[in-house]
Every structure is written in structure tokens, then in C-alpha cells.
Amino acid sequence: MKKLILTTFLLLVCFVNYSQDTDEKAIELMNQENYQGAINELNQVIKQNDTYSYYYYLRGYSYSQLGNLFNAKKDFLKSDDLGANPADAVYNELATIYFGEEDWTNAVVYYKKELEALGGSDIFALFNIATSYYNSEQYKLAITSYTNVISMNSNEKLVAFSYLQRGKAKNTLKDKSGCRDVTKALDLYMDALWENKEWGLRAPVDYAYNSYCQSKKTNNIYFKSWKKASKRYYKNLSKNLN
């Protein structure tokens, strides 16, 4: 079953005076979250200057906020044709749309462009590339890409999930080291849960057993620990809410 990853690129664009050429009224409307008004304004701006990549990015972003991904993609592609400004944001938007469409080939293309624009060391772009390969069942490429995420080691949640996905990919390829990755992932999730981190609740206890990576006895130990840690997590959560 293909999994849609969580949004790993948080686009925090502060729409201020990007340059002297940028239309101030459109940006003001975007700041007010009046995206349709911004689109109407940008339509007029683009009629006057249809060669400025940033205008297409702004309109594409506005379309995406309204859920109109067809027109959003058209504008992001046009922005790319004209020079992708701002490059990493344009590429991420395109990759995210292709990912949602399960067009894994183009998702990889634009996540790689995003990675290059970010200097080649962004863990989120690397993770998205790996997951696109995994979803397209290109397991050897997925293994290599998840290894890059693990080596970067700058986000514990992504590292834990990368161990799990790398283990699953190895298991699919009958690689005996897959179970070692699954167990490593399980330990990382359990550690997170004991530290009251919400993502630890998704510890792959069942998968570790169902994939024959653990004996029933070992799995029972993990399950009891997970159950105890989960109870503790929700107790602490309830206490903090009161």
C-alpha cells in the first residue's frame, strides 16, 4: 500500500516587497488570504509583463491555496520555464503536486531540483525523493536515498521512519539486513514515545512481528512496553490539558 508522506516542506512565504517589479496590491491581497482577489490582480499584472517568473509563482501559489491544482501546476511550470523564482519553492510546489498525483517520476525530478536549489543537503527533500522511489517500487534506489537521510541525521522523526522504510524495502528484496533496520526503527520510535513525543505512538510493533523480524516472545515485550508508554503519554497529555 502506497503511503502519502506528511507535508515535509513548510512554505512560510512572507509576501512583502520581493522586488520593485512586484505588484504590491497582489501581495497585499495574499497577505489577507484573499487568494482569488490576488489571482484577479495577477492576471492583469501578467498581461502587462508575462516574462517574470515570480508573478507566475505567486499566482500558482494562490491557485494552490484555493485547491485549484491544475492551474497551480500550469503556473509553477511556467515559472520554471522562465527561471524558477524563487527556485526551491517552485520546485517543491511542483514536486508536491506530482506526488499527490502519484506521478513518482516527476516528483523525483522536482524534488531533486529542489534539493539542488537548497545546496544539496536538505533532509526533507532527500526524504521525499526516497519515499517517491519507495512508492514507485524502485526499492534499490529507495534504500540508497533513505541511507542518505539517515546519514544526514538532522531530524529524528525522519531518521526513524527512514530506518523503517529502508527495512521494508530490504525485506521486499529478501535482504537479511532488513530486520536490523526494522528493529532500529522500532527502538527509535519507542525511545521517542517514552520521551512523550507523539510520533512515537506509531511505533511499528505489529510490522516487526508480522514481517518475521521478531519472535513472539520478543514482540510481546515490545508490545507491553509500547502499551505502558502509550498510557503514560496520554496521562501526561491529559494532565497538561487540565
- Cα gap 116→114, rounded to integer Å: 5
pLDDT score recorded for residue 22: 55
Torsion region of 120: left, alpha or beta (phi above 0 gives left; psi -120 to 50 gives alpha): left
Q: For every one of its 242 residues, what pLDDT tens digit does the chain have, with 9 covering 90 and above?
A: 444 444 433 333 444 444 444 578 899 999 999 999 999 999 999 999 999 999 999 999 999 999 999 999 999 999 999 999 999 999 999 999 999 999 999 999 999 999 999 999 999 999 999 999 999 999 999 999 999 999 999 999 999 999 999 999 999 999 999 999 999 999 999 999 999 999 999 999 999 999 999 999 999 999 999 999 999 999 999 888 86
Count the Cβ atoms, other than its own, within 10 Å of residue 66: 13
- Cα gap 6→16, rounded to integer Å: 28
118-130 pLDDT tens trace: 999 999 999 999 9
What's the gap between Cα 149 and its chain centre?
12
Torsion region of 24: left, alpha or beta (phi above 0 gives left; psi -120 to 50 gives alpha): alpha
- Cα gap 171→5, rounded to integer Å: 20
- Which three cell numbers mark 79? 515559472
pLDDT score recorded for residue 23: 73
Rg, C-alpha atoms of the chain: 22
